[in-house]
Structure 1
């Protein structure tokens, strides 16, 4: 029988930081956290905005400027829902507030919603005129901030075990 050599881990382990199984989300249905489900909508809408803006820049087809506007509107509405569930977890779970990742995730998302609101207002009644350059710049910044915020959200879930206990886990313990 051959033995495998002791190789160093490829990914740094934070297992010793939390020996427990995790923390339940404060906003869940049947044990399934709502925030991670809802955030997919504003992320999709708001990451599509710079794509539509760039296509408008290249084609000057008003369809794409109109699409950006409605994506911003949908991103704002769904972003507010995601923010509500996220804030409930932020204020309801002490472990989130104790982590830099929790604060960074919240602050970045507040910035995303603020910039998205500004972008939407700028385009209200001026669909094409507000796209280049201001709308495009804001939409690119928002997409980048969403990526960074998602990184911190992943830190909360995967490293700090926030909202990782499912309905069956609670029933078994």
Structure 2
């Protein structure tokens, strides 16, 4: 956090090169989140670039009270939501590059991991936009409930409820289809 504050102060003092540090730190995380929201690599790339431009122009509005990560996610997610409303993005499935994710030594493990990943992506895609975003922020970006609440400007109790409902919907879908997903079992 100390290092981020130094970068922010440098950028605000006129050192535009310092902004590259912020971009490098957050570009992959923002891209992963936005890709899961749009399901389109090109749209996700465009939205990430636009979000970083917006963050740059709003950097002076960061008040240093909350985490910078939470603030930058809020700006980026709000930008995406605005664009979704403006352009009515259509969600479509995208194949994830599993070669980078799994060990290629055991074909059975590769197959099972790919299948599990596809199933989870499909389940998440069936959720309403607000629940999908909360699931992604919680489990992909590993943000706390408080950070998510702050980010999407929704009360903490609503975040917990939406997360619970989203997981229940995914469990119900799996049960209806006759499957089982350990990570979505009742106790998790």
TM range (shorter): under 0.3
TM-score, normalized by length of structure 1? 0.27
More helix by share: 2
TM-score, normalized by length of structure 2? 0.25
Determine which structure has greater relative contact order: mean sequence separation of CA pairs < 8 Å that are 6+ residues apart, divided by chain length: 1
